[in-house]
Structure 1
Amino acid sequence: MALDSHPGSTLEFLLNGRPIRARGFHAQNTLLDFLRSQGLTGAKEGCAEGECGACTVVVVRENGAGSAYVPVNSCLLFLPMLAGQEIYTVEALAHHGPLTETQQALVDAGGSQCGYCTPGFVMSLFAEQYRPGREGPCDPHAMSGNLCRCTGYR
């Protein structure tokens, strides 16, 4: 089967709590490509290789203990991998309301310089905030998949 186009295929998933039905997609298109096509520009393309974390989104995976919020690089997720998944982007967090706990912590700590990598850091910390069994402050290793050229996150 060719990987370039699936005109008869339909893909359903949740994006920021909203049901999505994608049709006629290209199997090699990434979630980051799809987000751009939907006008969601919070996830940034930094390296397109999954090394910088600027494009981090959260996938909610159900397991025996409940829901696991998993930070993933949207530049590495191909559309067919999204079937039945629940995905959150930075746009879902406090879009028209008060800042989330994660966003406020970054503001309070002066954690944004140029801001390019900030959405990825926010999403990694958002996933850490909901990590099953987490007690106390967030584990700083939760941000190990995110890079900041300005060195503002330490």
Structure 2
Amino acid sequence: TVHPEAPAPPTETAPAEPDIQDEDQVNPEAPVTGRRASLADLTCLDDIEALSVRQLKEILARNFVDYKGCCEKWELMERVRRLYQDQQNLLGERPLQFSLEENLCKICMDCPIDCVLLECGHMVTCTKCGKRMSECPMCRQYVVRAVHVFRS
């Protein structure tokens, strides 16, 4: 029987896990380990090898790449490699600054394109025009929502 007056046995306190922000401050040049991963963190194809399965899946999910049916890590790595190479090809072929007319809303031709139409994902309107769309002017798919985006 346990007596109510008896002191509780001492418990060991587990060492605190390092804070994610502390890890970033130690060496910002280190490959991504133990924190959220993004395609922007990758500097070359070899960086993909160091990523965990969780980080690979996160990169794919953030970039709207379906990874269902991938049972092995190498399958996820292959999809991230393809995504990384596609991004590098886009950056190499096209400068980040678009021409002025190409960046204008295709409806009013007055405001910059700053809206993505969901579910299709087309970016062809300003937020004001996008919120008035019932269907996408490009593919005629029903517009569920128009989301304001920020270009950096």
More strand by share: 1
**Normalization by structure 2: what TM-score?**
0.29
User: Of the two, which has the highest radius of gyration?
Assistant: 2
The TM-score with structure 1 as length reference comes to 0.29
Which is richer in helix?
2
* Greater relative contact order, per chain length (Cα 8 Å cut-off, separation 6+): 1
